[in-house]
Structure 1
């Protein structure tokens, strides 16, 4: 095929050049700056390869030694990866949780056995974690803010374009800070921290916008002789209602019927065991061994809390608290062990 192509090329393209004498140099036309040359250009001389100083066996042995060295280095790196974090802390939060959770399971198993031994039943109680989702994005840590600024700066520089492309403008490489972008908005954004955060008002939803807040109540309906304490809204379900219906009734007793709620499902979020003690009155215990408290997660949609509703149902006070604030109050009233349950559940 290549012979046929070369024949056609000589036949069709060579005649105009064949009339030119070999002694006449080929020059460019007056109206053109391009140099006319014959169809085939002279081949560049190939560099003569130096003769190897080593034999074939020696070169093969040297190449094999290089491959062996690279393989051993790769295997050494794989072994180092297995132990590179042996001296660094690992699973710190996981071990803290397991240390509490394993002991809690053993304690619950002991309560179940002891209740069977005494022949006493358990009372069912339903508690509600009524949460308001975050309104704004949480604050970025300093390392994440620095990373985003660096990425934004590097994204302003791309690949080098050919010379005939227009040059970049100076404003294309300017990275604005958050404060500069906010200043260019046609409106004034609302503050991320409201006046209620500074005043300490906990009876409003217009606070702690960066995190979740939960409806907590102060009540003495749980048989405590020490007085009312902070906890989640709860009720004792009747035989005619399901656990979810009891959870919805607990919200109505604490906040009224003006709130619009969303229930993720029929299954409870968590369960806790609470044995009755001798300090509780017999009218409250009623020959029960204790309570199995089922916690339901319910999300707030919109609406205002009816302050008259919780007063009618014997609730002393209420507050919209974050997880950290709720844990602090439980630590003061019931100790750190009980506070860990709310810390891991909320």
Structure 2
């Protein structure tokens, strides 16, 4: 779940550009059928001026089938129909080319996608939205450095983000709590009783604030729209989710030592013993457990529980000695464990600082 703060004032204002037309087009595309998508794709791959008859022939459809779709696209500003000619607006074609990447399952809504999203906004607005210098030579790089440079920086940005709209806040929490970090738009619209236009406006605001975005997955003869975090952040969270080890029941845990710094104290005791009299490890193969006699002796030294099984004591003491060698506090010379030069200074540290040193 994503924790959001009510403190940070947001500066993204959708009225700073023609967001209403953007929302109209997004709603239109979300409702498109597979055939309507084919018509749009054909326009995007065709020249700026095309014959209607040749256009329909390449789609293997009649003019009566294509015209309703073309009229929708004409209303959206992508083209004009003059007799048998289709005249495509160059700038609007760029806009729809970008929007269609949402439907390409081989293209992820990543940082390159985000850069395309920001290009829809007048460039003079971006410094205001994202509090970056107007003198920046590359606005996107400045945004990247300020908000997206590392997982820690981006997470801090998200936790400071203010989402005052309760429904929008709930949508974000649901998306970030979902097992695969994505939720179908239809489910969110129904669950929170939101009309389509309000929903598109909410998601557009989330996109410009780098929180979530829309993408589509094809299923049979239609598209399913999903809300999810941007690709890199979603992959990072899924990695953490899948690599975090499961919790171990406290009933299965048996404490060998009661002190909070027991391992540090035990290592200290072994190191002091090595100072007085180097510990014999003559027959120890470092890939195995230390010999039973040495394990018993050191277990008694550190006052390991009397009922601890020998094998458990061997594993614990072996781990302690390996750690001492790993952090260069001891050395094995001629089959004996000797303190290293750094041991004397380490022994003077507090338990907390000793623990910090061992954690390296």
Q: Does TM-score exceed 0.5, indicating one fold?
A: no
| Larger strand share, 1 or 2 | 1
Which protein is bigger by CA-based radius of gyration? 1
Q: Which TM-score applies when normalising by structure 1?
A: 0.20
TM-score for the superposition, normalised by structure 2: 0.20
- Greater per-residue helix proportion: 2
